[in-house]
């Protein structure tokens, strides 16, 4: 099981926090701080596994992280997860972000934390790995984005704009219908 | 467009969205809290508005603020409002926020049940997806109970995306609502073989999580997982399964034996490091659980260790880390194998990475030997000096002590060195292990008698330099060593050279800054020292100095009387009085003075032995003592002050102010005691005291060691001590011993005699090195007499949550054990559809379970066939094509069940009627799978594996690979083909590697559930609208019995053919005494039991109740197969009617055409080409026909299915096919399709076979019914 997924920058500012076990807000902050403290003092060329986070879990738990440019991606997992597997998962996560945001950078995560959550939800659900196939993940995310856009189009549709949007709207809907039918 | 822009900006001006909030917070770095407070006010306003869009934006912002640590639980209701929006966009925002902020304590969660149910059932795929996702984070027991059924339904959704999520969330449901586990388990198990890899992976994931907590309940799934492991290519799934096996093997050693080979193969073949690593881990787990009995046991260990070495040597730090981690597991059971890589591990101690150093440290414990202990410790101490961060330093310190003290100081050869190490360790700053060092000092000095002089001398130095140590007076700090030092000096004062000096050091005023328990030891030992000084002085007959000492004590001891610590105070008071008394008596004449010295010394006489751990616990309860019995009559229940201690109340009234509760109880007790009881109590007290480590005893157990050499040794120590310059005067350095040891070792040959060998007969018989231990460790530990060898294991309480999931899954479902279904609580007579659904649901579960069981046994009853027909029919109906509703299917099944006449599926009913047999059957499967470690007797699988369908033990035993044969030809459904194919591929692989493995795979296959959904991918490519195909053909039929048959062959047995016959009883009576007989020909003979003549009939080992059918198998031995064989036979049987039984018979003709002996083995096109060009296939033949089916694909499928060929390549309008007879004849076909006509060109080495097969093909293509 994955207990928590944290993303924070080189200064420890949280960019995403996803706990799969309930902790009150102040505790969550403390965990983020502690994890940052543990992770940040490590060189880049040391291994990506860390034991000894006292706040989450205990002896059964490991911190597995990767450091990309300005961001740390940290997964707190228990012993049922494969260490190398989780490292791969982090890579998949980051690559997916990269695809979805087109050259992802910290700013994307800062301003679109909700989207990052939606992407993450396609990888991990309730602390268990849901999908590791990137094409599948991206298809799902794109379909959801389309759905969102189509809804937005309807919402924004003031009378003046109906003409422009309706065509668009329909085509998207049709596409969606086709896709759903195919499944 | 322009307008929308304007509108957009307008909106922006009015409402802040998430981006604006983030931007705002970034712009207000200096007063963030104030800004956020403003924003929160705005959000509250927005939430009050009617517009859902505005609310959604507000909730989205709240989610962000939650991440920053703000409590947003107050907005829970608004979150639910947004969740309930019909728009996906808003719903998603709502669910995200809920998943971040809701938890079990969120009270509004109970409002969400129906909303979530609606979302789960939504037409929109993503609505349901988002709901599942959210639910996985905030599911509560109530939600789990209410929604379990809806999630179960989603598990059979046609969309893999939903199935996947539904399967995964079931784990959370089980955690919250354990009652759901049993009803849901069959379906979950089914999903292990889902055609979608994602769903499969999710199911594996869930079961692995479940099994991790309660592995025993999932042992029965081992065969299934085994099959998955050998067939899956998804590394994620493999890793999970392999990890699961690692958890299962300790419970079932036989499993380990089975696993070792496939795992070793994986280790050799995989390129994925993650998989490799997990394989090694599980192999290690296997090797730990089964220490013997595995062939190539040592080879497996060697392989693991070698692979791990490669990992550790890798430049990737991650692999290095994991390698060390796995290595430490091997170390526990196979230290020798690890020791060979000592160099590597020591190297890792120098790694820059702390995680790696920690792991290497763990391993060190197994690396030490007498030879290298000093070296390693030295290295660790150097590390300690360099190390930053007390954490790592403490770890190092603990490690040093651990490796030195392991197994009774086994590797410490020179205790002077070790004591010096301990003393050096006291110089480490800020350690938290002061107590540990102190305990070691005490332990060493007590147990190694010979070291006492040296140790005491060192302790004296420590005491004199107490100021260096006492700075750090925190708990467990280094000052703790003073406790040990003071006690040792006091306990063994004879070894002190200058007791007076030590005494003075112990009376320094700074001592009062030490923790209380240390001070009390000080006080106590000051007096012990004092007693010793007086005694010594008497020996020299000079009491003058002694008096000074006494006066000094009288002057300085009172500082302890002022101590805040009670014990210190008490002891100090006592001691002051004692000193006064001594001084007084010294003032008198000489005789009393002399006597006082002895008396004083007598106070502290006696030796101490170490007490075994938990000695107190092991004191046996004396006979006749009932610890649970009341000592006094229990106070009457009605008494109001029953809770008050009895003693205190009586005490207050009677005794005014003195004494304590204990006195009082004693007083109360005494009158009740009979003289016997009193003696018993006395005896008890005596025993207790004898075992109490705090009581000094009269009789001293001398340790076995020879103390005569003590003096000698003491001298040499003193010499050493003085000759070497030290950092702290008087403290010896551990290095000197190391150098000494080294020089000794180099000169060993010459100076063997000069070594300090003090123990006479106690030479170490250690073969690898003959470094003698200089000092002997006393292993005497005090254990109470009569203590039983009680295991010291302590059961630890696991998580309650997981305990609840410890449920027996094999036991069949009880009636009424179903998932709660939503019902309307309205007028009872007005039935709504929902309540009706309930029994169906139940049935469905049951059915599922039955099915899976049935499948396990691979009974290929024709019921399935029927079902498949139905399914296929459905598929061919254009409108219904895509969604074969499972529910519908179940309806049909149920209907089929209720028809009185024998839908063939009922045939198994009698044997399954009783639930008990059911589970035992299953158990047998598992047991059987486990027990068949290798392929010695795959045939035995038959009798046990499918007890109901097996014909007769004898004929089948002849069939050495019976089930293989079955798998191979049979296939009355297309689906079987896939399995078949897999099998063959495996077999191919296997035969390349080793024949022995055959059994493994067969058994694995034998147990598996041929999933209904699995469709051969190759068939997916060609859109098939063919009629259902079944290779079961009618053998004979009369008014009372019907026989359908199919033939099966195995490529491993070239001389054998299995005939599988389904007998169906068409009468309303019982049919028994079935006897099957065939007239043998020269070429083909029925295999009969041992000792039976060639014309004897074979008894069919079952009876057929009315309307049921069952399947029997008969083996035929075949010499030549190039010609079709026709056989005549008879079946005789008895029909038992009420009036009496009649004997009946039915004749039949059997045809084994040449295609029956073909098996469709996969062939690569390159192999195919080389076969054709090899020139071996000399015979050619051609066949032309006009097939009934006007489709090339269908015709091709029919050839493949009925004639057992495999498509090698297929291009537009033509295809090449390959098949091989069980005797190894290759047959290559080229099939062309042109304007409704099919031409088949064949090539083979055997002309007759080829032309016969071609004739068969023609029949297959042109005739409708076979």
Alpha carbon distance B1041, B1100 (integer Å): 14
Give the residue ranges of DSSP H helices in B68-159.
76-83, 88-101, 113-120, 125-138, 141-155
Residue B93: is its pLDDT beyond 90? yes
Q: Residue A146: list chain B partners with CB under 8 A.
A: none
Instruction: Return the number of CB contacts < 8 Å for A and B.
Output: 165
Mean pLDDT calculated for residue range B111-139: 90
Confidence of residue A80 (pLDDT cuts 50, 70, 90): confident
Shortest CB distance from A80 goes to which of B129, B208, B273?
Answer: B208
Contact A107/B at CB under 8 A: no
Contact A135/B at CB under 8 A: no
Quote the minimal CA–CA distance from B32 to chain A in Å: 14
- Whether B444 and B455 have beta carbons less than 8 Å apart is answered as yes
Cβ pair B125:A148 closer than 8 A: no
Cβ pair B317:A45 closer than 8 A: yes
Q: Residue A147: list chain B partners with CB under 8 A.
A: 88-89, 124, 126
Tell me which of A125, A157, A163 to substitute to probe the interface with B (most B C-beta atoms closer than 10 Å).
A125
Predicted local distance difference test score (pLDDT) of residue B165: 93
Cβ pair B353:A46 closer than 8 A: yes
Shortest CB distance from A126 goes to which of B18, B169, B236?
Answer: B169
Predicted local distance difference test score (pLDDT) of residue B867: 52
Contact A80/B at CB under 8 A: yes
Q: For B105, which residue in chain A has the nearest alpha carbon? A: A22
Q: For A16, which residue in chain B has the nearest alpha carbon? A: B67
Residue pLDDT, tens place only, A98-115: 999 988 888 889 999 999
Q: For B2, which residue in chain A has the nearest alpha carbon? A: A161
Query: Mean of the per-residue pLDDT values for chain B?
Result: 72
Q: Residue B7: list chain A partners with CB under 8 A.
A: 156, 158
- Whether B869 and B878 have beta carbons less than 8 Å apart is answered as no
Residue B853: is its pLDDT beyond 60? no
Residue B313: is its pLDDT beyond 80? yes
Residue B714: is its pLDDT beyond 60? no
Which run of H or of E encompasses B1044? strand B1041-1048
Q: Residue A29: list chain B partners with CB under 8 A.
A: 69
Cβ pair A110:B22 closer than 8 A: yes
Confidence of residue B393 (pLDDT cuts 50, 70, 90): confident
Q: Residue B87: list chain A partners with CB under 8 A.
A: 151, 155
Buried b (16+ CB within 10 A) or exposed e, B1203-1231: bbbbbbebeeebbbbbbbbbbebbbbbbb
Quote the minimal CA–CA distance from A75 to chain B in Å: 15
Confidence of residue A141 (pLDDT cuts 50, 70, 90): very high
Shortest CB distance from A148 goes to which of B88, B125, B206?
Answer: B88
Predicted local distance difference test score (pLDDT) of residue B1020: 39
Contact A136/B at CB under 8 A: yes
Predicted local distance difference test score (pLDDT) of residue B683: 67
Portion of chain B with pLDDT greater than 70, in percent: 65
Least confident stretch, B506-515, B978-987, B1191-1200: B978-987
Cβ pair B274:A82 closer than 8 A: yes
Q: Residue B66: list chain A partners with CB under 8 A.
A: 25
Predicted local distance difference test score (pLDDT) of residue B1166: 80
Contact A131/B at CB under 8 A: yes
Predicted local distance difference test score (pLDDT) of residue B942: 38
Shortest CB distance from A117 goes to which of B71, B96, B198?
Answer: B96
Q: For A142, which residue in chain B has the nearest alpha carbon? A: B126
Residue A75: is its pLDDT beyond 90? yes
Cβ pair B68:A82 closer than 8 A: no
Q: For B52, which residue in chain A has the nearest alpha carbon? A: A155
Residue B539: is its pLDDT beyond 90? no
Q: Residue B205: list chain A partners with CB under 8 A.
A: 128-129
Q: Residue B93: list chain A partners with CB under 8 A.
A: 114
Residue B1024: is its pLDDT beyond 60? no
Q: For B351, which residue in chain A has the nearest alpha carbon? A: A46
In three-state secondary structure terms, A51 is coil
Shortest CB distance from A126 goes to which of B130, B137, B317?
Answer: B137
Residue pLDDT, tens place only, B912-950: 434 444 444 555 566 666 665 444 433 343 334 333 333
- Token output for B1006: 């034998």
Cβ pair B92:A118 closer than 8 A: yes
Residue B646: is its pLDDT beyond 60? no
- Whether B435 and B476 have beta carbons less than 8 Å apart is answered as yes
DSSP string, B868-908: HHHHHHHHHSTTTTT---HHHHHHHHHHHHHSSS--GGGGG
Alpha carbon distance B775, B778 (integer Å): 9
Confidence of residue B79 (pLDDT cuts 50, 70, 90): very high
Give the residue ranges of DSSP H helices in chain A.
25-40, 83-101, 106-111, 113-123, 134-156, 162-182
For residue B1058, give every residue at least 6 positions away whose Cβ sits within 8 Å of its Cβ, in sequence order, or none. Answer: B959, B962, B965, B966, B969, B1047, B1048, B1049, B1050, B1113, B1114, B1115, B1116
Mean pLDDT calculated for residue range B1024-1038: 69
Alpha carbon distance B924, B574 (integer Å): 76
Q: For A155, which residue in chain B has the nearest alpha carbon? A: B53
Residue A116: is its pLDDT beyond 90? yes
Q: Residue A82: list chain B partners with CB under 8 A.
A: 239, 243, 274, 277-278
Alpha carbon distance B1056, B959 (integer Å): 8
Predicted local distance difference test score (pLDDT) of residue A159: 39
Q: Residue B4: list chain A partners with CB under 8 A.
A: 156, 158, 161
Residue pLDDT, tens place only, B1086-1115: 887 666 777 778 888 788 888 788 888 888
Buried b (16+ CB within 10 A) or exposed e, B1254-1264: bbbbbebbeee
In three-state secondary structure terms, B565 is coil
pTM of the model: 0.56
Least confident stretch, B282-291, B619-628, B639-648: B639-648
Residue B816: is its pLDDT beyond 90? no
Confidence of residue B410 (pLDDT cuts 50, 70, 90): confident
Touching B: A residues 18-77, CB under 8 Å:
18, 20, 22, 24-26, 28-29, 42-43, 45-52
Task: Name the more confident of B485 and B613.
Answer: B485
Residue pLDDT, tens place only, B170-211: 999 999 999 888 889 989 988 888 888 889 999 999 998 898
Alpha carbon distance B155, B170 (integer Å): 9
Alpha carbon distance B1054, B1218 (integer Å): 18
Alpha carbon distance B246, B1232 (integer Å): 52
Mean pLDDT calculated for residue range B704-723: 37
Mean pLDDT calculated for residue range B523-543: 79
Residue pLDDT, tens place only, B438-477: 888 888 888 888 888 888 888 888 888 877 766 655 556 7
Predicted local distance difference test score (pLDDT) of residue B218: 87
Cβ pair A128:B71 closer than 8 A: no
Cβ pair B198:A158 closer than 8 A: no
Task: Name the more confident of B100 and B1049.
Answer: B100
- Token output for B626: 């009932």
Shortest CB distance from A130 goes to which of B3, B168, B172?
Answer: B168
Q: Residue A51: list chain B partners with CB under 8 A.
A: 355, 358
- Whether B972 and B865 have beta carbons less than 8 Å apart is answered as yes
CA distances from B524 to B545, B570, B578, B600, B603 (A): 21, 11, 12, 13, 11
Q: Residue B68: list chain A partners with CB under 8 A.
A: 14
């Amino acid at each position: 099981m994955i207990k928590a997924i944290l993303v924070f920058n080189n200064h420890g500012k949280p960019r995403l926090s996803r706990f799969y076990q309930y902790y009150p807000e102040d505790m969550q902050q403390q965990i983020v701080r502690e994890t940052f403290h543990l992770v940040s003092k490590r060189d880049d060329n040391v291994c990506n596994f860390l034991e000894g986070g006292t706040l989450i879990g205990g002896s059964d738990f490991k911190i597995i992280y990767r450091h990309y440019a300005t961001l740390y991606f940290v997964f707190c997992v228990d012993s049922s997860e494969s260490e190398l597997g989780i490292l791969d998962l982090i890579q998949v996560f980051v690559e997916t972000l990269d695809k979805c945001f087109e050259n992802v950078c910290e700013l994307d995560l800062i301003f679109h934390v909700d989207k990052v959550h939606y992407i993450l939800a396609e990888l991990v659900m309730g602390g268990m790995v849901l999908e590791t196939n990137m094409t599948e993940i991206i298809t799902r995310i794109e379909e959801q984005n389309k759905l969102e856009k189509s809804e937005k189009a309807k919402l924004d549709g003031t009378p003046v704009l109906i003409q422009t949007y309706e065509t668009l709207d329909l085509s998207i809907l049709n596409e969606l219908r086709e896709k759903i039918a195919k499944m | 467009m322009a307008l929308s822009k304007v509108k957009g900006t307008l909106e922006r001006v009015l409402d802040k969205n998430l981006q604006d909030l983030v931007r705002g917070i970034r712009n207000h770095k200096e007063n963030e809290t104030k800004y956020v407070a403003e924003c929160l006010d705005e959000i509250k306003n927005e939430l009050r508005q009617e517009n859902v869009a505005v609310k959604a934006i507000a909730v989205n912002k709240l989610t962000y603020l939650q991440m920053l640590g703000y409590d947003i639980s107050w907005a829970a209701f608004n979150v639910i409002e947004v969740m309930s929006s019909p728009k996906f966009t808003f719903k998603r925002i709502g669910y995200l926020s809920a998943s971040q902020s809701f938890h079990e304590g969120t009270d509004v969660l109970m409002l969400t049940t129906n909303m979530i149910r609606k979302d789960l059932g939504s037409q929109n795929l993503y609505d349901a997806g988002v709901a599942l996702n959210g639910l996985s984070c905030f599911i509560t027991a109530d939600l789990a109970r209410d929604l379990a059924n809806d999630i179960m339904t989603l598990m059979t959704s046609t969309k893999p995306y939903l199935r996947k999520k539904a399967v995964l969330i079931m784990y959370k449901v089980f955690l919250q609502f354990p009652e759901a586990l049993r009803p849901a388990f069959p379906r979950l198990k089914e999903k292990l073989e889902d055609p979608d890899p994602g769903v499969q992976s999710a199911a594996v994931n869930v079961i692995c999580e479940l099994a991790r907590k309660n592995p025993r309940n999932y042992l029965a799934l081992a065969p299934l997982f085994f099959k998955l492991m050998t067939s899956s290519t998804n590394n994620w799934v493999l890793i999970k399964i392999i990890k699961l096996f690692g958890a299962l093997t300790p419970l079932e050693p036989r499993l380990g034996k089975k696993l070792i080979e496939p795992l070793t193969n994986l280790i050799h073949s995989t390129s994925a490091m993650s998989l490799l690593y997990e394989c090694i881990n599980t192999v290690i787990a296997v090797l730990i659980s089964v220490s013997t009995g595995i062939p190539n046991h040592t080879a497996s260990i060697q392989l693991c260790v070698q692979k791990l070495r490669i990992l550790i040597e890798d430049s990737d730090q991650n692999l290095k880390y994991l390698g060390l981690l796995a290595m430490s597991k091997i170390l526990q059971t196979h230290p020798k194998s690890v020791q060979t890589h000592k160099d590597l591990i020591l190297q890792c101690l120098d790694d820059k990475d702390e995680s790696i150093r920690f792991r290497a440290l763990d391993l060190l414990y197994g690396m030490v030997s007498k030879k290298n202990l000093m070296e390693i410790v030295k290295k660790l101490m150097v590390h300690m000096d360099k190390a930053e961060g007390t954490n790592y330093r403490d770890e190092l310190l603990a490690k040093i002590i651990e490796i030195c003290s392991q197994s009774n100081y086994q590797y410490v050869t020179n205790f002077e060195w070790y004591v010096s190490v301990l003393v050096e360790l006291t110089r480490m700053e800020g350690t938290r292990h002061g107590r540990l060092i102190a305990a070691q000092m005490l332990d060493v000095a007590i147990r190694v008698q010979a070291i006492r002089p040296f140790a005491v001398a060192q302790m004296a130095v420590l005491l004199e330099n107490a100021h260096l140590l006492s700075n750090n007076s925190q708990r467990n700090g280094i000052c703790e060593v003073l406790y040990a030092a003071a006690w040792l000096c006091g306990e063994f004062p004879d070894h002190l050279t200058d007791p007076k000096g030590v005494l003075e050091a112990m009376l320094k005023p700074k001592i009062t800054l030490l923790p209380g328990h240390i001070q009390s030891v000080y006080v106590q030992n000051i007096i012990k020292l004092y007693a010793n000084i007086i005694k010594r002085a008497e020996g020299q007959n000079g009491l003058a100095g002694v008096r000074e000492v006494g006066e000094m004590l009288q002057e300085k001891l009172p500082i302890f009387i002022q101590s805040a610590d009670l014990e210190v105070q008490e002891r100090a008071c006592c001691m002051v009085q004692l000193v006064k008394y001594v001084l007084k008596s010294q003032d008198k004449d000489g005789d009393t003075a002399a006597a006082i010295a002895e008396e004083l010394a007598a106070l502290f006489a006696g030796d101490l032995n170490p007490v075994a751990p938990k000695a107190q616990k092991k004191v046996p309860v004396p006979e006749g003592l009932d610890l649970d019995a009341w000592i006094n009559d229990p106070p009457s229940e009605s008494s109001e002050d029953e809770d008050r201690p009895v003693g205190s109340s009586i005490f207050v009234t009677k005794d005014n102010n003195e004494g304590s509760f204990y006195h009082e109880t004693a007083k109360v007790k005494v009158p009740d005691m009979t003289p016997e009881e009193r003696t018993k109590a006395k005896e008890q007290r005596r025993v207790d005291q004898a075992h109490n480590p705090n009581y000094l005893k009269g009789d001293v157990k001398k340790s076995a060691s020879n103390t005569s050499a003590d003096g000698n040794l003491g001298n040499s120590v003193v010499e050493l001590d003085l000759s070497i310059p030290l950092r702290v005067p008087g403290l010896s350095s551990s290095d000197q011993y190391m150098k000494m040891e080294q020089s000794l070792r180099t000169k060993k040959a010459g100076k063997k005699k000069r070594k300090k060998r003090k123990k006479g007969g106690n030479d170490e018989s250690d073969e690898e090195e003959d470094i003698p231990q200089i000092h002997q460790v006393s292993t005497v530990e005090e254990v109470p007499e009569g203590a039983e060898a009680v295991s010291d294991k302590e059961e630890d309480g696991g998580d309650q949550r997981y305990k609840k999931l410890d449920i027996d899954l094999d036991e069949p479902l009880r009636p009424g054990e179903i998932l709660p279904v939503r019902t309307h609580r309205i007028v009872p007579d007005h039935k709504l559809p929902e309540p009706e659904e309930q029994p169906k649901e139940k049935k469905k579960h049951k059915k599922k379970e039955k099915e899976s069981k049935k499948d396990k046994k691979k009974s290929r009853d024709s019921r399935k066939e029927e079902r498949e027909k139905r399914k296929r029919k459905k598929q061919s109906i254009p409108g219904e094509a895509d969604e074969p509703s499972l529910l519908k299917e179940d309806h049909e099944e149920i209907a089929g069940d209720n028809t009185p006449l024998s839908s063939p599926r009922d045939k198994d009913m009698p044997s399954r009627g009783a639930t008990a047999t059911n589970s035992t059957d299953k158990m047998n499967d598992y047991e059987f799978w486990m027990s068949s470690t290798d392929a010695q007797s795959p045939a035995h699988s038959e009798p046990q594996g499918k007890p109901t369908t097996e014909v007769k033990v004898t004929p089948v035993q002849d069939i050495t690979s019976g089930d293989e044969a079955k798998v191979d030809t049979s296939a009355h459904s297309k689906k079987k083909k896939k399995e078949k194919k897999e099998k063959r591929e495996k077999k191919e692989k296997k035969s390349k590697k080793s024949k022995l493995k055959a059994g493994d795979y067969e058994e694995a296959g034998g147990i598996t559930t041929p999933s209904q959904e699995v469709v051969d991918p190759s068939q997916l490519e060609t859109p098939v609208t063919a009629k259902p195909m079944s290779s079961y053909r009618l053998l004979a039929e009369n008014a009372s019995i019907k026989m359908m048959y199919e033939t099966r062959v195995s490529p491993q047995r070239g001389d054998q053919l299995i005939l599988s016959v389904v007998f169906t009883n068409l009468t309303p009576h019982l049919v028994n005494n079935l006897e099957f007989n065939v007239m043998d020909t020269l070429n083909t003979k029925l295999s009969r039991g041992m000792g039976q003549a060639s014309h004897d009939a074979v008894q069919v080992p079952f009876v057929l109740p009315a309307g049921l059918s069952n399947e029997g198998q008969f083996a035929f031995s075949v010499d030549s197969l190039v010609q079709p064989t026709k056989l005549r036979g008879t079946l005789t049987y008895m029909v038992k009617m009420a009036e009496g039984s009649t004997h009946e018979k039915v004749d039949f003709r059997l045809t084994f055409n040449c295609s029956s002996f073909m098996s469709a083995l996969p062939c690569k096109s390159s192999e195919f080409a080389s076969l054709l060009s090899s020139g071996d296939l000399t015979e050619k033949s051609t066949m032309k026909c006009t097939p009934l089916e006007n489709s090339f694909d269908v015709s091709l499928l029919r050839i493949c299915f009925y004639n057992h060929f495999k498509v090698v390549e297929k291009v537009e309008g033509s295809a090449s096919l390959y098949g091989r007879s069980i005797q190894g004849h290759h047959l290559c076909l080229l099939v062309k399709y042109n304007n409704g006509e099919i031409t088949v060109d064949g090539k083979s080495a055997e002309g007759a076979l080829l032309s016969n097969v071609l004739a068969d093909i023609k029949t297959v293509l042109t005739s409708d019914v076979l």
